[in-house]
A and B are shown apart, each in its own frame.
Chain A
């Protein structure tokens, strides 16, 4: 299968995201907490197109948030692009988010009072000191990539759900980040729009080699991905197939994860 050989070629490269023994607890009270991530191990290679699937409440969003440096962890280490982010300061993480990561939120998360173009160009403004003119140009290009060039001046609250989702994707892509993390990017869309968006992301992944990690409940979406990381309740260990091969299967640490090949 051609797809498989591509994966094999990519996995020879270094991992772009690694998580080792990651624990995340949500504190609810003084002695009460939810242990959402219980020792997650995972490796994602550069250029991979990976899906997180699993039942509701299994910790997919939590995992995506900690990988995207949006939340801190209680134990373990996370490395992005080779550098350990666990002990980075808030401002270092902010810089990393702005320059290396693109996040597509579940439920759009656009700023409703701003236009599509402004929403996208905000991400450029935070990431670099580019002139206003170039910022607008870059943002316009990103919107055109997702097929929304003609909606640039519309307020995001005046756009349809699918259009808003595409603006969010344009915002995640505009700085050409090496990693795009998308939390249920098609969760609110009909199957037609969902397919369009998936096709667009897949196409970008092929062309630019950017790494995509998406959370989804939709098996059809999962099928389009190189690899599905299944997160069971509670997730304990998830590894890339290559890494598992290299290290050997560690009993007791992998029962939460399986992987399937595409198609």
Chain B
């Protein structure tokens, strides 16, 4: 192809430009892979929270999990539109973990009965799930297998207590990957122990949960049901799917903003460097353009020639950036996998998007120099030294 030959006429300069774009695309790919991971988590969350109401203590916050009395279940069951309500315990796997990079590692426990109502199913790739009456056993999420050295039949330590692993969860790319599932009773005990001594003495572990999951009757809007629970049951905070959406929207908005910022910078840097290359290449080849116009090359033809060159520079830069990005992401993921954290998810749509973006960038940046070249009067271009 002629465009390839033209690019390789100036090897070093073209290489530097392509490298400049590669860096931009690389940044885009890495940030994008992080965003994709978060998007998937959010999607999983939206699916999970989509058809139910989650009830927690009024004082409970995101990082500050407050105990809730199991007796509230009876009160909730009285509310019109409730089909069933089950206790849940959610707590941090690492007691001192404050800010998590990626998904926080969690201990999760619930009533196996709830599975009958649950649309979001967890599956094991090995062993089994927690069953009614289980004690001292654990099911481990896929991202945590390495971190905890979990194997079916072997023991792992959770909050300094031994648990026998009975199952390993299938990879979902969402929250369950970084969870350890225990029986409700075991989790309740761990949770009670994590409370300040003053509270710990006044309650029985068996009465403590961190949240209650409420399944609405068929045809009942979970959002409306949450409002009703808030009105009729004291000291609780019931939230439907909307509040999860709202919460994640904020978080993803900030993230998207950062993404956009990095995208814009890479656009600017990459675009300017393509434009610079094209302008230099055109001023070097001004005589050539003059010759071509003089022997009958049309405006469109000169445009096409230079734009395809710019697009090719963009595409090459894009491919290299994607390549380096994929390698770095793979290395980073396998590095953090030891600690049970997966930060990046490289999707085909991200790779294709980045490539198209890079080509588009090349074309946009090549447009002005190409237009300048195509518009030149033949003699002007010919006189150029």
Binding site for B on A (CB under 8 A): 65, 68, 70-72, 90-91, 94-95, 97-99, 103, 105, 109-111, 113, 122-123, 126-127, 171
Contact = CB atoms under 8 A, between A and B. Distances in A.
A177 B293 CA distance: 16
A126 B292 CA distance: 9
Contact of B295 (A90, A91, A103): A103
Interface string B263-307: 000000000000000000000000110111111111101000000
Contacts of A127: 296
B1 to A, nearest CB: 13
A222 to B, nearest CB: 25
B199 interface: no
B294 A70 contact: yes
A126 B296 CA distance: 6
A108 to B, nearest CB: 10
Q: Majority SS of interface residues in chain A?
A: helix
Contacts of B116: none
Interface stretch (B51-59, B228-236, B241-249, B376-384): B376-384
Nearest to A68: B294
Contacts of B301: 126
Contacts of B290: 109
Given A91-B298, A122-B295, 10 more contacts: A98-B295, A99-B296, A103-B294, A105-B291, A105-B294, A109-B290, A110-B291, A122-B297, A126-B295, A127-B296
Contacts of B299: 90-91, 94
12 contacts: A65-B379, A70-B294, A94-B298, A98-B295, A98-B296, A105-B382, A109-B287, A109-B382, A122-B292, A122-B297, A126-B295, A126-B297
B132 interface: no
A114 B105 CA distance: 63
B161 interface: no
Contacts of A109: 287, 290-291, 294, 382
B382 A94 contact: no
B121 interface: no
The list of the 10 closest CB pairs from A to B, nearest first, reads A98-B296, A126-B296, A71-B379, A70-B378, A123-B295, A70-B379, A97-B296, A126-B297, A94-B298, A109-B291
A94 B379 contact: no
B9 interface: yes
B377 A72 contact: yes
Nearest to A111: B288
A127 B295 CA distance: 8
Contact of B294 (A72, A91, A97): A97
B218 interface: no
Contacts of A71: 377-379
B296 A95 contact: yes
B5 interface: yes
Nearest to A90: B299
Contact of A94 (B5, B287, B291, B293): B293
Given A111-B288, A126-B301, A171 B295 contact: yes
B375 to A, nearest CB: 8
Contact of A111 (B291, B293, B298, B382): B291
A126 B302 CA distance: 11
Interface in B362-385: 377-379, 382
Q: Could you say which of B290, B293, B295, B377 has the most chain A C-beta atoms within 10 Å of its C-beta?
A: B295
Contacts of B287: 109
Contacts of A90: 299
A41 B72 CA distance: 107
A28 to B, nearest CB: 13
A116 to B, nearest CB: 14
Contacts of B292: 111, 122, 126
A103 B299 CA distance: 19
Given A105-B382, A113-B5, A97 B377 contact: no
B382 A126 contact: no
A171 B379 CA distance: 18
B317 to A, nearest CB: 23
A123 B294 CA distance: 10
B297 A94 contact: yes
Nearest to B301: A126
A41 to B, nearest CB: 22
Contacts of A91: 298-299
A97 B378 CA distance: 11
Contacts of B377: 70-72
Contacts of A70: 294, 377-379, 382
Nearest to A96: B296
Nearest to B298: A94
Nearest to A108: B291
Contacts of B378: 70-71
A68 B296 CA distance: 11
A220 to B, nearest CB: 27
A110 B292 CA distance: 9
A65 to B, nearest CB: 5
B187 to A, nearest CB: 73
A232 B165 CA distance: 104
Interface in B307-359: none
A111 B284 CA distance: 12
